[in-house]
Amino acid sequence: MDQKIQDKITSWLNGSYDDDTKNAIRELQKNNPNELLDAFYQNLEFGTGGLRGIMGVGTNRMNKYTVGMATQGYANYLKQSFPGEVKVAIAHDSRNNSRFFAETTANVFAANGIKVFLFESLRPTPELSFAIRSLKCQGGVVCTASHNPKEYNGYKAYWNDGAQMVPPHDKNTIREVEKIASVDDVKWSGGEKNITLIGAEVDNEYMNMVKGLSVYPEVIARQKDLNIVYTPIHGTGIKLVPEVLKRFGFTNVNIVKEQSEPDGNFPTVKYPNPEEKETMSIGLNQAKATNADILLGTDPDADRVGIGIKNNHGEWVLMNGNQTAVLAFNYVIEARKTKGLAKPNDMVITTIVTTGMINRIAEANGVKCYNVLTGFKWISEMIREKEGKENYIIGGEESFGLMIGDKIRDKDAVSAVALLCEMAAYEKEKGRTLFDKLIDLYVQNGFFKEDLISITKKGMDGQQQIAAMMEGYRKDPPKNINGSDVVELLDYELRKGKNLKTGKEWEIKLPKSNVLQFILEDGTKISARPSGTEPKIKFYFSVNTQLKNAADFDRVNKQLDEKIKSIIASMKL
């Protein structure tokens, strides 16, 4: 074993760690040396969003000590940045140890003289973002690993606008966290008087805000018995989603009983992710059996939303994140126009790996559309940049996330569920489905089809393999993919675009990010992006063509599916 790794293990065995931790290390030494190596070979990185990792002992794991050291560094930076009183809000999801990590975080902040608002029990991530703004906090933390498997937990850090941190605060916080060399540098206790429990009052304020997003309450009043099936997938959505739907006016909401209880073991699913068909399968079966109008699912911290509807053949299908975003963006833009709420300076925000169809819809309606880096912190940063000049109405990205209205600064599945149900009610009143509406939008704006594949590279050398793949594409980009020439290479790490035909180069005016995009002559867009939270590299594919009429949908849909398969095969992925 490398001496540096051994030294770390020794320091934990001899340092100010509890006996259970030391005994767990000795057990690994005896029975699972490979696991021990993985637990200590690196420090769990406090990235630009915070921490995320497997729970357990060691420097490369989520545990009391890695969480406490991260919090101490973050507390130090908050106190440097805000010389007066500093306040933070803290929430957590249903994962195993999430309450423990939230209380550990609260105790460290409080011991540093920071006033803490700690939710009394589990709450959705978007409510944490809302609470930061509502309580005028300088920062906040939510303990969640979002949609990761049950072995994981995480720690998302927020700034005073309710958004996850962006430069310079993210890098500055990381520097302060890295200065915490030992658990002895952490103030673990002594400030308990600085902790205030919060709950129902913030819940009520947040739900009133969500209710205010409704555009057609009169339609809901007529379609109040819309048959809705909802699953919280053992997560925090159960705390607020049913009540929000009730406040919207829906009276026929049916919870998936098998997945209704918050449970960090996620007993009915492999991955608690509404993007996964297997995860939504119990809800789909219930929707079929009860002839529902719409199925909704939220992930453990209720920031991602999955949706199931009937397609043009009456068969139940799950929408992908791009389709959901297209429907939601179009609804908000159209409804505001129809209701006379639209403003000349309305704007929407999407990301560089999300469908270009949103840009088409915005342009057709005279609404400004901005494209930012992946992640809602960049959508929030754009709102901040345009505040007072342009009016933000909706933002979203392909990863099943929407942020409606400007009262929060993170993706919000609670408000998304409510709005999607309102959209379904609006179409049902016209004798149509959301799928019918989607096909209409394809006819009007072009048929955009997207797909995503993730390649996992686990272990110590996984990140190196991913880095090598990116470097290969960067140094020697493909000239032709699936019979179509690559005409542009967009390198967001170098912030440089290049026309591969003419050699012309230009600056990309976005922050640096390790993303490469290939734009093909036929309008195809392919993006390569290593995940910031998992040992994966993601490839996003977007193809498009004209759809002359709804009757051609099946034929053209199949053609686009085959095209994406051919592209993936030609890239040998």
Say if pTM beats, i.e. exceeds, 0.75.
yes
Residue 533: pLDDT over 70: no
Neighbours of 177 (CB within 10 A): 23
Q: Are 225 and 251 in contact (CB under 8 A)?
A: yes
Tokens of 58: 């060691």
Query: Same fold for the domain at 225-445 and the one at 447-570?
Result: no
Q: Provide the residue type at 372 as one letter.
A: V
Instruction: Look up the CATH architecture of domain 447-570.
Output: 2-Layer Sandwich (3.30)
The model's confidence at residue 459, banded by pLDDT at 50, 70 and 90, is low
Q: Where are the beta strands (DSSP E) in 284-390?
A: 294-298, 305-310, 316-318, 346-351, 368-372
For residues 177 and 141, is the Cβ–Cβ distance under 8 A? no
228-231: strand order across its sheet: 253-255, 228-231, 294-298, 305-310, 316-318
Q: How is the chain split into domains, by residue range? A: 42-205, 225-445, 447-570
Q: Look at residue 1 in the predicted model and tell me its pLDDT.
A: 77
Closest CA to 162 of 132, 203, 195, 193: 132
Say which CATH class 225-445 falls into: alpha beta
- Where does residue 314 rank: exposed (0-12), middle (13-18), buried (19+ CB within 10 A)? exposed
Q: HSE on the CB side for 122, CA within 13 Å?
A: 23
State the Cα–Cα distance between residues 7 and 16, nearest whole angstrom.
Answer: 15
Nearest of 75, 53, 41, 51 to residue 179 by alpha carbon: 75
| Contact of 302 with 125, CB cutoff 8 Å | yes
Reported as a pLDDT band with limits 50, 70 and 90, residue 462 is confident
Q: In terms of CATH, what superfamily is 42-205?
A: Alpha-D-Glucose-1,6-Bisphosphate, subunit A, domain 3 (3.40.120.10)
State CA 210 to chain mean position distance.
19
Give the whole-angstrom CA distance, residue 91 versus residue 301. 10
Tell me which DSSP letter residue 251 carries: -
Could you give the angle at which helices 241-248 and 413-429 cross, rounded to 10 degrees?
40
3-state secondary structure labels for all residues of 120-189: CCCCCHHHHHHHHHHCCCCEEEEECCCCCCCCEEEEEEECCCCCECCCCHHHHHHHHHHHCCCHHHCCCC
Model confidence pLDDT, tens digit, residues 120-162:
999 999 999 999 999 999 999 999 999 899 999 999 999 999 9
Mapped onto helix, strand or coil, the DSSP state of residue 247 is helix
Residue with tokens 């400004």: 368
Per-residue pLDDT, averaged over 103-116, amounts to: 98
Give the pLDDT score at 532. 65
Q: What is the DSSP letter of 13?
A: H
Task: Report whether 230 contacts 256 (CB < 8 A).
Answer: yes
pLDDT in tens, 387-399: 999 999 999 999 9
Query: Region 388-417: what's the mean pLDDT?
Result: 97
Q: Per residue in 257-278, pLDDT tens?
A: 999 999 999 999 999 999 999 9
CA angle 169, 172, 176 (to 5 degrees): 130
pLDDT tens digit sequence for 475-499: 999 999 999 999 999 999 999 999 9
CA neighbor of 414 nearest in space, from 240, 570, 255, 251:
240
Q: What type of residue sits at position 27?
A: E
Query: For residue 49, what pLDDT band results from cuts at 50, 70 and 90?
Result: confident
Residues classed as catalytic: 146
What residues are paired with 230 via a beta bridge? 255, 296
User: SS3 string of 541-569?
Assistant: EEEEECCCCHHHHHHHHHHHHHHHHHHHH
